[in-house]
């Protein structure tokens, strides 16, 4: 109760000092009274979060926030985007400046525990890779002894590089920047031999280079980078909503419910589909939402497969295959618990 009232402060209660979340515990109430969800996204990562020529935000992480707005308000437009650098993102979440962080953020133990955050799940299974100029003639990361490496500060990337080079007894020099456009510029201008980041980021950033075809991504993937939406510790209801929005995207694809057939699927006699669409049961109510929460997500934004194809798939400039991000039933890792 007191957490709701006093926000962003250290509160003394019976001699105990407790850190309260800046936005208070009831994020859903805050969001409803603001009339929109404040969503932290990347400052510009094609396929994940970037603005198009009309100035509209697009990308997988952006669509996730639209799905969240569809679940909460029945309206995917009720979301505002806050572009954040890697370094700024966690402070923005903890301070209450944003309600959810949807910014190619890797789920790691320290972030999930000591840093006071909860990961809703994995929207994109990624791993760290290396990109080099083809003219270097390098075909494996194991040939990078003595290389100068460009990367982003405030990310998991620097630590992974350190581990990898140490494990393989290779020397290297890191040149790190806060903004990814600075990294791209430094690599593009030849200030470093190697660009390292999440492999999805390499696909995306390669598009910004002067001659993308002159660069090659090396085969080694040196880490696990499970990227997912993040909330603050201390608000289970909001955590549930963010988690189940992700699960609805995945379950929607698994059940074959998409933005084009959701209305007609309401006639289905399959009990699982009926529960998903809110025709039967009161599953939305359990989260403080309407029972059509998942219907709204899939009907108005799409299912996970649609989001992937639209933003990252073979028909886009990024041309990323589903790979690990295929559904579990198609030999991938995407799996969501049932609505039951």
Ligand X SMILES: N[C@@H](CCC(=O)N[C@@H](CS)C(=O)NCC(=O)O)C(=O)O
- Residues found near ligand X in the complex (CB under 6 A): 42-43, 45, 85-86, 104-106, 152, 155-157, 179-180, 197-198, 201, 225, 227
Residue written as token pair 């039967």: 280
Q: Is 18 helix (H, G, I), strand (E, B) or coil?
A: strand
Determine the Cα–Cα distance for residues 183 and 15; give it in Å rounded to an integer. Answer: 48
Shortest distance, position 315 Cβ to ligand X, whole Å: 22
Shortest distance, position 169 Cβ to ligand X, whole Å: 25
Q: For residues 102 and 106, which CB has a smaller minimum distance to ligand X in the complex?
A: 106
Shortest distance, position 267 Cβ to ligand X, whole Å: 42
At 53, list the tokens: 């020529």
Determine the Cα–Cα distance for residues 71 and 276; give it in Å rounded to an integer. Answer: 12
Q: For residues 232 and 275, which CB has a smaller minimum distance to ligand X in the complex?
A: 232
Q: Which helix (H) or strand (E) holds 28?
A: helix 27-34
Which of 222, 295, 241, 289 is closest to 121 using CA atoms?
241
Q: If you ran DSSP here, which 8-state letter would residue 103 be given?
A: S
Q: For residues 160 and 296, which CB has a smaller minimum distance to ligand X in the complex?
A: 160
Determine the Cα–Cα distance for residues 67 and 78; give it in Å rounded to an integer. Answer: 10
Q: For residues 73 and 187, which CB has a smaller minimum distance to ligand X in the complex?
A: 187
Partner residues linked to 19 by β-bridges = 10
Please say whether the beta carbons of 320 and 313 come within 8 A: yes
Shortest distance, position 105 Cβ to ligand X, whole Å: 4
Q: Which residue of this chain has its Cβ atom nearest to ligand X in the complex?
A: 201
Shortest distance, position 311 Cβ to ligand X, whole Å: 15
Residue written as token pair 């950033």: 205
Q: If you ran DSSP here, which 8-state letter would residue 9 be given?
A: S
In angstroms, the Cα distances linking 287 to 36, 128, 154, 277, 282 are 17, 35, 33, 15, 10
Please say whether the beta carbons of 260 and 306 come within 8 A: no
Q: For residues 38 and 180, which CB has a smaller minimum distance to ligand X in the complex?
A: 180
Q: For residues 46 and 252, which CB has a smaller minimum distance to ligand X in the complex?
A: 46
Shortest distance, position 47 Cβ to ligand X, whole Å: 10
Shortest distance, position 155 Cβ to ligand X, whole Å: 3
At 81, list the tokens: 């985007």
Q: For residues 96 and 127, which CB has a smaller minimum distance to ligand X in the complex?
A: 127
């Amino acid at each position: 109760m007191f957490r709701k009232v006093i926000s962003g402060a250290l509160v003394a209660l019976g001699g105990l000092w407790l850190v309260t979340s800046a936005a208070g515990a009831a994020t859903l109430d805050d969001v409803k009274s603001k009339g929109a969800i404040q969503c932290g996204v990347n400052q510009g990562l094609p396929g994940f979060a970037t603005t198009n020529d009309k100035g509209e935000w697009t990308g997988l992480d952006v669509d996730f926030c639209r799905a969240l707005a569809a679940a909460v308000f029945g309206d995917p437009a009720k979301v505002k985007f806050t572009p954040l650098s890697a370094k700024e993102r966690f402070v923005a979440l903890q301070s209450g400046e944003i309600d959810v962080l949807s910014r190619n953020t890797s789920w790691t133990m320290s972030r999930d525990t000591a840093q006071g955050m909860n990961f809703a799940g994995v929207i994109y299974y990624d791993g760290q890779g290396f990109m080099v100029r083809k003219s270097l003639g390098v075909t494996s990361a194991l040939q990078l002894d003595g290389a100068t490496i460009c990367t982003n500060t405030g990310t998991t990337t620097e630590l992974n590089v350190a581990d990898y080079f140490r494990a393989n007894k290779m020397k290297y020099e890191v040149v790190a920047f806060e903004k990814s456009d600075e990294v791209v510029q430094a690599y593009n201008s030849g200030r470093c031999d190697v660009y390292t980041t999440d492999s999805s980021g390499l696909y995306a950033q390669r598009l910004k280079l002067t001659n993308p075809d002159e660069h090659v991504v090396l085969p080694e993937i040196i880490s696990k980078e499970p990227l997912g939406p993040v909330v603050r510790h201390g608000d289970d209801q909001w955590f549930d909503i963010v988690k189940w929005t992700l699960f609805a995207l995945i379950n929607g694809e698994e059940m074959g419910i998409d933005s084009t057939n959701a209305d007609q699927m309401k006639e289905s006699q399959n009990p699982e589909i009926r529960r998903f669409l809110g025709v039967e049961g009161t599953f939305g109510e359990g989260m403080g939402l309407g029972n059509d929460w998942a219907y709204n997500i899939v009907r108005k934004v799409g299912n996970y497969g649609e989001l992937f194809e639209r933003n990252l798939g073979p028909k886009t400039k990024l041309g990323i295959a589903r790979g690990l991000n295929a559904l579990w039933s198609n030999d991938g890792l995407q799996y969501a618990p049932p609505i039951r």
